Structure 1
Amino acid sequence: MEWKNLLRGFAMGTTDLIPGVSGGTLAVVLGIYYQLLESISGLFGKDWKRHWGFLIPLGIGMVSAIVCLSRVIEYLLEHHYEPTQFFFTGLILGVLPMLVRQADVRRNFSVIHVIVLLISLVLMASMAFLSGDEDAGPLTALTIGSTIGLFFAGWLASMAMLLPGVSGSFVLLLVGVYPTAINALSTFNFPIIITIGLGVLAGFFFSSRAIRYLLASYPHMTYAVMIGLIAGSVFVIFPGIVSGLGTIIICLVALLAGLSIAMYFGSAKRTGS
């Protein structure tokens, strides 16, 4: 068992609670993204023991963060929204140099790669102008229709979680399920938690294989999409220009903290690239 993944999973679970912040991006920051895809895809392969040993501690950490911090995240976003978002903005900006270096952009990117990157960036940035239907209030009881809907919402969210730059929570927000998910976690509504969770697990298993295939068969184009999505996600979570000297200083410190953490984990020395 790779028990150090408990902390990695806890960090990823924390980010997955926040709309606009991608757990996939944090996996890149932590240097475990490709191993994560490999382990999910190989759960039932010949190396299943190694993959389970990687994923079990990671999953425990993620679940622990989601259960323990759902109310904390609600509090931070409600009472300290700008510093929280600036921290994650720094985290996202800090991972871009590593991806650019790993993709060897100068050598491998042609005009078409740059165009795809820009299209991905614009598409992701445009999500900043979208919002889900939050006025209906959270669901607290299941029907046949809502069970199917919540399952596939979890499936879509898990696909987003595996793509750096795309937030699973933001997808839930777009389809109007985020309030229901957060309320279920805060009140331990297990039928709803299990329904969404099963969708997430199914999405993880199938979409990880697709992403691995794309990275193996079309690496440069996949990197172009990933870099565009991550860069565009900054526009989704950026809280805007803040006012007041104290607020500006706190937000700047939060931004630099996120940037420093991401650049430390993504340094050439640590990643070997």
Structure 2
Amino acid sequence: MEWKNIYRGMLMGASDTIPGVSGGTIAVVLGIYDQLIAAINGFLSKDWKKQLGFLIPLGLGIAAAIFSLSHIITWLFKTYPGPIQFFFLGLILGVLPFLFNKAEAKTPFQIQHYLLLIASVVFVGLLGFLDPTRGDIIENLSSAAYIRLFFSGVVASSALVLPGISGSLMFMILGTFATVMGAVSQLQLDVLAVTGAGIVIGIVLMTKIVSYFLNNFYTGMFAVVIGMVIGSVFVVFPGWPAGAASVITSIITFAVGLAAAALLGRLEYKA
């Protein structure tokens, strides 16, 4: 068992409770993105037992963070949204040098790779211009409501597989954020089961797609990943803070995020 995956999973799980921040981006920051994709894809093969040592601790960390830290993270995001978002901006930008080095490990970037990168930046960046809403908690859980929750889970699961796409933001855009978060805090098992089934199916489908492109178009896939990470900056960016105190606080949290990315990178890439 790779027990250090528990803390990795906790970081990914905590980030998934924040609209605009992607668990896939945190996997990139931690340097385990391609290993994560390979493990999920391998779990669906005859060698599934070999992946348990990686996936079980990671899953435990994600679940622990979502159920134990969701209230704290949500409170911080509501109370100090600017500084928290600037921290994640630093965390996201701090990993880019490593990503460019890793992307060009096999083939140097060519014009088509830069075009893929730009297209990915635009695609994810446009999400920041959408007008998401948490929506009211769905009280009448009809068949249509369950279908909506299942579809929301399929769409939001892309956050684990694709950097830059936030699962919480997808839930908000689809109007199911409040219902899902309420189900997590109140352990509403029917909602969790339906949404969870959608998440699992979405992860399976998206992982196979990403795995194919990583195996056959490594540099191109990483160009897309880098573009999505850069594009997430436009989604997370909260706007320039007003007031000297807010500016100083945001600069400090941004610097802490950069330092955290460098520290995590140093620890992970040596491991």
* TM band (smaller chain): over 0.9
Secondary structure, in 3 states, of the residue corresponding to 1:53? helix
RMSD: 1.9
Matched AA of 1:30: L
Secondary structure, in 3 states, of the residue corresponding to 2:238? coil
Judge conservation of contact 1:125–1:232 (CA < 8 Å) in 2.
Answer: yes
How much has 1:105 moved relative to structure 2?
A: 8.4
Describe the superposition over 1:124-178 as per-residue Cα deviations: whole angstroms up to 9, x where unpaired: 11111102343x4111442111111111211111123211111111111221121
Matched AA of 1:271: Y
- 2:243 counterpart residue number: 244
Q: Superposed, which structure 2 residues align to 1:5-154 within 5 Å?
A: 5-104=5-104, 108-134=108-134, 136-154=135-153
Describe the superposition over 1:185-212 as per-residue Cα deviations: whole angstroms up to 9, x where unpaired: 2222221122111111122222111101
- 1:166 counterpart residue number: 165
Matched AA of 2:269: T
How much has 1:98 moved relative to structure 2?
A: 0.9
TM-score, normalising length: structure 1: 0.92
- 2:258 counterpart residue number: 259
- 2:194 counterpart residue number: 195
CA distance in structure 1 between the aligned counterparts of 2:27 and 2:123, rounded to whole angstroms = 22
CA distance in structure 2 between the aligned counterparts of 1:46 and 1:124, rounded to whole angstroms = 35
Matched AA of 1:197: G
CA distance in structure 1 between the aligned counterparts of 2:205 and 2:257, rounded to whole angstroms = 31
Matched AA of 2:211: R
Matched AA of 1:189: Q
Judge conservation of contact 1:114–1:224 (CA < 8 Å) in 2.
Answer: yes
Once the two structures are overlaid, the 10-residue window that deviates more, 110-119 or 17-26, is 110-119
- 2:2 counterpart residue number: 2
- 1:271 counterpart residue number: 269
CA distance in structure 2 between the aligned counterparts of 1:104 and 1:218, rounded to whole angstroms = 12
Q: How many residues align?
A: 270
Structure 2 residues not aligned, in runs of 5+ = none
Judge conservation of contact 1:29–1:265 (CA < 8 Å) in 2.
Answer: yes
Describe the superposition over 1:93-113 as per-residue Cα deviations: whole angstroms up to 9, x where unpaired: 111111111112896222222
Judge conservation of contact 1:159–1:168 (CA < 8 Å) in 2.
Answer: yes
TM-score, normalising length: structure 2: 0.93
Task: Using the aligned pairs only, state the percent identity.
Answer: 41
Judge conservation of contact 2:113–2:223 (CA < 8 Å) in 1.
Answer: yes
Judge conservation of contact 2:136–2:175 (CA < 8 Å) in 1.
Answer: no
CA distance in structure 2 between the aligned counterparts of 1:242 and 1:106, rounded to whole angstroms = 41
CA distance in structure 1 between the aligned counterparts of 2:39 and 2:48, rounded to whole angstroms = 8
CA distance in structure 1 between the aligned counterparts of 2:264 and 2:114, rounded to whole angstroms = 26
Secondary structure, in 3 states, of the residue corresponding to 2:175? coil
CA distance in structure 2 between the aligned counterparts of 1:203 and 1:141, rounded to whole angstroms = 25
Structure 1 residues not aligned, in runs of 5+ = none
Once the two structures are overlaid, the 10-residue window that deviates more, 6-15 or 236-245, is 236-245
